[in-house]
Chain A
Amino acid sequence: MLLELNDVSLSLKRDGKYVKILDEISLQVNKGETVGIVGESGCGKSMTALSVMRLLPEKAKLEGVINLDHEDVTSYSKRKMEKIRGNKMAMIFQDPLTSLNPLHTVGRQIEETLILHTDLNKEQRKQRVIELLNEVGLPRAEEIASEYPHQLSGGMRQRIMIAVAMACNPSLLICDEPTTALDVTVQAQILDLMNHLKEVNEMGIIMITHDLGVVAEVCDRVVVMYAGKIVEQANVKELFLNPKHPYTKGLLESIPKLGVKKAKLGSIPGMVPSPDKMPQGCRFFDRCSSAMEICKGKTPPMSSVGEDHTAACWLYEEKGGEMNGSSGSEGLEATLHN
């Protein structure tokens, strides 16, 4: 196990009071595995990533355990955290133009990671930068090293970001929507590159995206998040073929399928509730087509719905249904029979 999150909760201070952004997130990433985190905007995907990196606002309250190589990083000091950031774990962000410093050459930006974490001398660092630029598939590496971000294309910039992240061979790479800002053709190239780097370096990758196409392309396992909670976890095939949670189903229905003529693409009505107005019980209740009485008042626990497949939904929680009176089980049966 490379990375393990156990009941991680995060609260941020907004207008003087703490608002819970993440609620008991638990997930695992193994070596050489890509775990996708999907969900709509504002569901806490990025915040989960930033919690792992501990790149949170100063007044954030982080609870739970985040084990990286069996060591809890939540207990690390500032200095110790700086030592593993960019070194053992690295992160790639959404917009490669704004994520690179406009005033430094890209070579210097890649080199900075090496300065911070290695003992290489200037000559060796220069060599390693060229090596990295070649690794991420950039031709005429020496020229590019002395160029500025604004002189490069979007795809090249994202390759630079990857080179920055890969500089110290991290064991965990977190990618926050790495292809969202790129052209479709370039997206595929970048995803191929990441797949390749993962295999070569045996990294674990967390891939945050709202694009299920990206998930299908690169992920081994998927975590579906909704309103700061994990609602479903499964391996990628299982999730696409056999989605359980109504939210996941909704997400999958909103992808157009080739060769299937449909008058209207599926969509999920409503919006993700804001963290300070989180409903009681199941947070998806308002928007769920299979909602039952029990969903309104009680949060569904995570339960097994198949091999290596869990979901948090009363539809699959028999015990919960029984325990909560007849109305719940009636609803449950009704749905099961459908």
Chain B
Amino acid sequence: MDALRYTVKRIFLMIPILIGISILTFFISNTIPGDPARLAAGPYADAKVIEELQEKMGLNDPVYVQYANYMKNLLQGDLGNSNYSHQPVMEDIKQYFPATLELTFFSMFITILIGIPLGVISASKKDKAADQFARVMALVGVAMPAFWLGIIFLLFFYLKLGVLPGSGRLDTGLTPPETITGMYTIDAILTGNWTVFKSAVIHLILPGITQAAVTIGMITRMTRSSMLEVLRSDYIRTAFAKGGSEKRVLYGHALRNGMMPIMTLLGMTFGHSLGGSVLVESVFSWPGLGKYAVNAITYLDFPAVMAVTILIAVLFILVNLIIDILYQVVDPRLNYD
């Protein structure tokens, strides 16, 4: 009950934040020089056509009127029409966003699967070979630019060995599964289409690992330092005094106690991956939100830029909310107030 009230309260608190974000992005995109009408009309349009288009797009209204109109439409689920793709932005997002979400989920999955155990091992074998190795790996992961790593992966696994595909979400020739979530792997499972599922997973591997390399490094380092702190605690000694094995103490007692900062970082990186996967998406021709956003910016496609910005902001806040709720699940000492 408490948890529910807390959640509802937090969701209401999102409203002013989102209004703030929408105002900021709207006014910033409006001060950027460049005429969306001219861009939409194309280079050979004459002045009259452009003027008409400006009128039609509402570009001659005062900014606050434009904003009010935009928000009114937004609340009705209308994000406007893209000046570039000439279809409703909502449709574009429905098409591109699941691809990014799928890639992000996959890379977070790899991050948790590798980063956390690596950090735990690193902490428990402090200053030994395993620790040194993990620390160097983490440093390398953090230090290597994603686009460079992506290109190296492409050269090696796709061009040289030919074991993994280098672009797109599915093998050519396969039809995407029926859209339920828009994430091919999940839709394939839901429709029981295993050929498509396999192909979708294989296509996720290289971009997923490229994206995860940085976050694995960060999570490993955070897990290590958090665990080192926890391992000095009295209750860890108690756990050993009970006869617990090292593995049991590390994963059964220490990790959960060290989880808070790790969770915080996971939430942040999740948000970053959603918004910042542009480079990875470009390298692997992944038809996701990042590529869409870059196109939108290049063509001054304001409705699209606005939509992507607000969407990522909402997701960022949601992820943080989920993390905050998870804190309480992990630590019974925290209250919902």
Min CB–CB distance B230 → chain A (angstroms): 10
Q: Tell me if A131 is interfacial: C-beta within 8 Å of chain B.
A: no
In the bound complex, how far is the Cα of B235 from the Cα of A93, in angstroms? 9
Structural contact, A116 and B257, CB atoms closer than 8 A: no
Structural contact, B242 and A148, CB atoms closer than 8 A: no
Interface set, chain A 112-159, CB cutoff 8 A to B: 112-113, 116-117, 148, 150
Selected from A87, A103, A112, the residue in CB contact (under 8 A) with B257 is A103
Q: Tell me if B330 is interfacial: C-beta within 8 Å of chain A.
A: yes
Structural contact, A99 and B243, CB atoms closer than 8 A: no
Structural contact, B241 and A85, CB atoms closer than 8 A: yes
In the bound complex, how far is the Cα of B244 from the Cα of A90, in angstroms? 12
**A101 in contact with B242 given A93-B234, A148-B332 (CB within 8 Å):** no
Selected from A79, A101, A117, A150, the residue in CB contact (under 8 A) with B253 is A101
Structural contact, B235 and A100, CB atoms closer than 8 A: yes
In the bound complex, how far is the Cα of B332 from the Cα of A259, in angstroms? 49
**A99 in contact with B256 given A85-B241, A91-B241, A112-B242 (CB within 8 Å):** no
Q: Tell me if B5 is interfacial: C-beta within 8 Å of chain A.
A: no
Residues in chain B near residue A79, CB distance under 8 A: 245
Residues in chain B near residue A82, CB distance under 8 A: 243-245
Q: Tell me if A164 is interfacial: C-beta within 8 Å of chain B.
A: yes
Selected from B235, B243, B253, B333, the residue in CB contact (under 8 A) with A87 is B243
Q: Tell me if A55 is interfacial: C-beta within 8 Å of chain B.
A: yes
Structural contact, B333 and A85, CB atoms closer than 8 A: no
Q: Tell me if B179 is interfacial: C-beta within 8 Å of chain A.
A: no
In the bound complex, how far is the Cα of B87 from the Cα of A88, in angstroms? 75
Structural contact, B241 and A103, CB atoms closer than 8 A: no
Min CB–CB distance A110 → chain B (angstroms): 10
Interface set, chain A 312-331, CB cutoff 8 A to B: none
**A85 in contact with B242 given A102-B235, A103-B331 (CB within 8 Å):** yes
Min CB–CB distance A228 → chain B (angstroms): 21
In the bound complex, how far is the Cα of B132 from the Cα of A183, in angstroms? 46
Q: Tell me if A27 is interfacial: C-beta within 8 Å of chain B.
A: no
Selected from B235, B242, B245, B256, the residue in CB contact (under 8 A) with A98 is B235
Q: Tell me if B238 is interfacial: C-beta within 8 Å of chain A.
A: yes
Q: Tell me if A95 is interfacial: C-beta within 8 Å of chain B.
A: yes
Interface centre among B243, B256, B332 (most CB of A within 10 A): B243
Q: Tell me if A84 is interfacial: C-beta within 8 Å of chain B.
A: yes
**A101 in contact with B239 given A93-B234, A148-B332 (CB within 8 Å):** yes
Structural contact, A164 and B333, CB atoms closer than 8 A: no
Q: Tell me if B60 is interfacial: C-beta within 8 Å of chain A.
A: no
Structural contact, B243 and A83, CB atoms closer than 8 A: yes
Structural contact, B241 and A53, CB atoms closer than 8 A: yes
Selected from A87, A117, A164, the residue in CB contact (under 8 A) with B238 is A164
B306-334 to A contact mask, C-beta < 8 Å, 1/0: 00000000000000000000000011110
**A113 in contact with B243 given A98-B234, A102-B331 (CB within 8 Å):** yes
Nearest-CB residue, chain B, relative to A101: B235
Q: Tell me if A86 is interfacial: C-beta within 8 Å of chain B.
A: yes
Residues in chain B near residue A53, CB distance under 8 A: 241
In the bound complex, how far is the Cα of B248 from the Cα of A112, in angstroms? 11
Structural contact, A102 and B242, CB atoms closer than 8 A: no
Min CB–CB distance A41 → chain B (angstroms): 17
Interface set, chain B 228-251, CB cutoff 8 A to A: 233-235, 237-245, 248
In the bound complex, how far is the Cα of B237 from the Cα of A53, in angstroms? 11
**A86 in contact with B243 given A102-B331, A103-B332 (CB within 8 Å):** yes
Residues in chain B near residue A83, CB distance under 8 A: 243
**A85 in contact with B238 given A98-B233, A102-B331, A148-B333 (CB within 8 Å):** no
**A102 in contact with B333 given A82-B245, A113-B243, A117-B243 (CB within 8 Å):** yes
Structural contact, B235 and A55, CB atoms closer than 8 A: no
Residues in chain A near residue B238, CB distance under 8 A: 93, 99-101, 161, 164
Min CB–CB distance B79 → chain A (angstroms): 43
In the bound complex, how far is the Cα of B234 from the Cα of A49, in angstroms? 15
Interface set, chain A 159-179, CB cutoff 8 A to B: 161, 164
Min CB–CB distance A14 → chain B (angstroms): 15
In the bound complex, how far is the Cα of B235 from the Cα of A311, in angstroms? 37
In the bound complex, how far is the Cα of B238 from the Cα of A98, in angstroms? 10
Min CB–CB distance B56 → chain A (angstroms): 60
Structural contact, A84 and B243, CB atoms closer than 8 A: yes
Residues in chain A near residue B331, CB distance under 8 A: 102-103
Structural contact, A99 and B237, CB atoms closer than 8 A: yes
In the bound complex, how far is the Cα of B244 from the Cα of A85, in angstroms? 8
In the bound complex, how far is the Cα of B242 from the Cα of A223, in angstroms? 26
Nearest-CB residue, chain A, relative to B333: A150
Nearest-CB residue, chain A, relative to B240: A55
A45-72 to B contact mask, C-beta < 8 Å, 1/0: 0000000010100000000000000000
Interface set, chain B 178-236, CB cutoff 8 A to A: 233-235
Nearest-CB residue, chain B, relative to A91: B241
Interface centre among B234, B242, B333 (most CB of A within 10 A): B242
Nearest-CB residue, chain B, relative to A98: B234
In the bound complex, how far is the Cα of B298 from the Cα of A157, in angstroms? 64
Structural contact, A103 and B256, CB atoms closer than 8 A: yes
In the bound complex, how far is the Cα of B240 from the Cα of A90, in angstroms? 10
Residues in chain B near residue A112, CB distance under 8 A: 239, 242, 244
Interface centre among B238, B330, B332 (most CB of A within 10 A): B238
Nearest-CB residue, chain B, relative to A95: B234
Structural contact, B237 and A113, CB atoms closer than 8 A: no
Residues in chain A near residue B244, CB distance under 8 A: 82, 86, 112, 116
Interface residues of A (CB under 8 A from B): 53, 55, 79, 82-87, 90-91, 93, 95, 98-104, 112-113, 116-117, 148, 150, 161, 164
Given contacts A53-B241, A84-B243, A102-B331, 14 further A-B contacts (CB under 8 A): A83-B243, A87-B243, A90-B241, A91-B241, A93-B238, A98-B234, A102-B235, A102-B332, A112-B244, A116-B243, A116-B248, A117-B243, A148-B333, A164-B242
